[in-house]
Structure 1
Amino acid sequence: MEKENQPEAVSSVLKVFGIIEALAEQKEIGITDLAQRLMMSKSTTYRFLQTMRTLGFVKQEDETEKYSLTLKLFEVGAKALEYVDLIALANQEMSSISKQTNETLHLGTLDDSEIIYLHKIDSSYNLRMYSRIGRRNPIYSTAIGKVLLSGLSEQEITALMADVTFVKHTDKTLENTSQLIQEVEKVRQQHFAEDNEEQEPGLRCIAAPIYNRFGRIIAGVSISIPTIRFEEKKLPYLVNLLQIAGKNISEQLGYHDYPAPISIE
């Protein structure tokens, strides 16, 4: 297991995954057998096991003192699979909206105090929003960001934004957490969010939430339209498209209490 010429950090990672693989193959194992199997000293094996135990990935039986994996790895894997399913499901809905509008569609989620784009369908127009999958944007100046915050309490938002510097990307960018909380309350009431040239001059964005089976907002789906093509009278129509998409995706993820999409009549 231990390899020469490996940087210490890389060597530690190899040892951790070696322990995980060994514990996955054998339901319970004692520290002596585990150390011999991995060709590591008992003291080193013990040190790693205690750290993994503190993090919740490993447990030790009181009677036998043998070690085994907890379900935390399963939980982590399930979250990853949730996003794989989410992208596939969202792509169907986003493709439908793209055919009807020819505008840019994004799927984004929260990562710390920023949003990260998980999926994108480009506009068919030459004039379009520049973005890419994996790109990050501030949570306070994006429609998807506001939608994601609408699933948090005021206290949670305050804590999340505590170390965030509000950068004025445009004259319309929100300036502080107090303004953001007011905006998020509006989002909760109307069940969609807007970025009216707050992140990028000349660009309007609208977003609706996506829920997981537990009723937690895990993502947002948005449409981005240059202001020269945006017609205010079409706002209800666009919101309706996004909310229907959010509802369909959420239902396929197991959530069936999505608020009714706005009426466009």
Structure 2
Amino acid sequence: MPADSSQTPDPATSRFYVTAVERAMAVLMAFDGMHRHLSLSQLAESTGLDVSAMQRFTHTLQALGYLRRDPQSKKFELTAKLLDFSNIYLSANEMLAKAMPYLQRLAQDTEEVVNLSVLDGTDMILISRIVSRNALNLNIHVGSRMPAFCTASGLAWLSALPEEEAEAVLQASDLVAHTQYTETSLPKIRKRLAQTRKNGYVHTGEEYRLGGVATAAAICDTQGRVQGAISVSVSKPRWNAPEDEKRYADLVIATCAAISTQRLTP
């Protein structure tokens, strides 16, 4: 059964919640690959803030070094200083530090793309990616988001959660078909998670992006709580089933087990 969200207070209703911080983050999040340069009015429209408020936020973020304004077009863009946040996170991540030697060995053994992801809401976020010469998609990078319900890393992570927590994630997910192979039926996804718990790994084929197959397993801490998910991605022309499924499953499971034995703290 899904978790009862009515028992969990909304943090945004707390008296400690600072709305100004939320709005500043909304300004930064308005920029993406499709919107790299935005004017003051475009930012106001995107965030729902009025132009006067947007002037104050952009001025402050520019003064802090996170935004740059082009003197000709008058449009804003993000600066490289934002990477400081990702660098702090990656540097402080105990699991990533302990996993890196094993991820590198896995990439060498497979000569394929190796990913390490963590769950954020209903998405998996890449926190490490070792790209091989056989990579199918070079546009995926650290920080990329992918839905948990239809990706190998996501299914591996969900299978390692208590069932009620996994169910809560599924209930909150937008179960849309990204390809003709995407499974969107909740009963079938639940059945798949049960099978993944039994097998210790999951295999997906072209369910999020066409042309790629992946095998993934979960990394757990000393208390059995999932800390990450490792996946090996292979382009379909290089995939030789069922031999490759067993080979990659054995390698990924062994890698996750080796990292888990490094006494990851909860």
Instruction: Tell me if TM exceeds 0.5.
Output: yes
Aligned to 2:166: 157
Q: Contact (CA 8 Å) 2:95, 2:264: kept in 1 or not?
A: no
Aligned to 2:76: none
Pick the aligned partner of 1:240 from 239, 250, 259: 250
Aligned to 1:99: 108
Q: Secondary structure at the match of 1:150?
A: helix
When residues 175 and 101 of structure 1 are mapped into structure 2, their CA distance, relative to the original with a 3 A threshold, is same
When residues 129 and 230 of structure 1 are mapped into structure 2, their CA distance, relative to the original with a 3 A threshold, is farther
Listed one character per residue, the Cα deviations across residues 166-215 of structure 1 (whole Å, up to 9, x for unaligned) are: 11111111113222111100100100011211111111010011011111
Which structure ranks higher in relative contact order (CA pairs < 8 Å, sequence separation ≥ 6)?
Answer: 2
Return the letter of the residue paired with 1:238: Y
Q: Contact (CA 8 Å) 1:211, 1:253: kept in 2 or not?
A: no
When residues 83 and 246 of structure 1 are mapped into structure 2, their CA distance, relative to the original with a 3 A threshold, is farther
Pick the aligned partner of 1:9 from 20, 25, 38: 20
Aligned to 1:119: 128
Aligned to 2:208: 199
Q: Contact (CA 8 Å) 2:230, 2:256: kept in 1 or not?
A: yes
Return the letter of the residue paired with 2:124: I
Distance, in Å, in 1 between the alignment partners of 2:136 and 2:161 is 35
Listed one character per residue, the Cα deviations across residues 43-78 of structure 1 (whole Å, up to 9, x for unaligned) are: xxxxxxxxxxxxxxxxxxxxxxxxxxxxxxxxxxxx
For structure 2, list consecutive stretches of 5 or more residues without a partner in the other structure. 1-17, 25-88
Q: CA RMSD in A?
A: 2.4
| Aligned residues between the structures | 181
Q: Contact (CA 8 Å) 2:203, 2:245: kept in 1 or not?
A: no
Return the letter of the residue paired with 1:9: A
Q: Contact (CA 8 Å) 1:154, 1:181: kept in 2 or not?
A: no
Structure 1 stretches of 4+ with a deviation exceeding 3 A read 80-83, 126-130
Q: Which has the greater radius of gyration?
A: 1
When residues 142 and 127 of structure 1 are mapped into structure 2, their CA distance, relative to the original with a 3 A threshold, is closer
When residues 192 and 129 of structure 1 are mapped into structure 2, their CA distance, relative to the original with a 3 A threshold, is farther
Q: Give the TM-score of the pair, scaled to structure 1.
A: 0.63
Distance, in Å, in 2 between the alignment partners of 1:127 and 1:143 is 16
Q: Give the TM-score of the pair, scaled to structure 2.
A: 0.63
Aligned to 1:208: 217
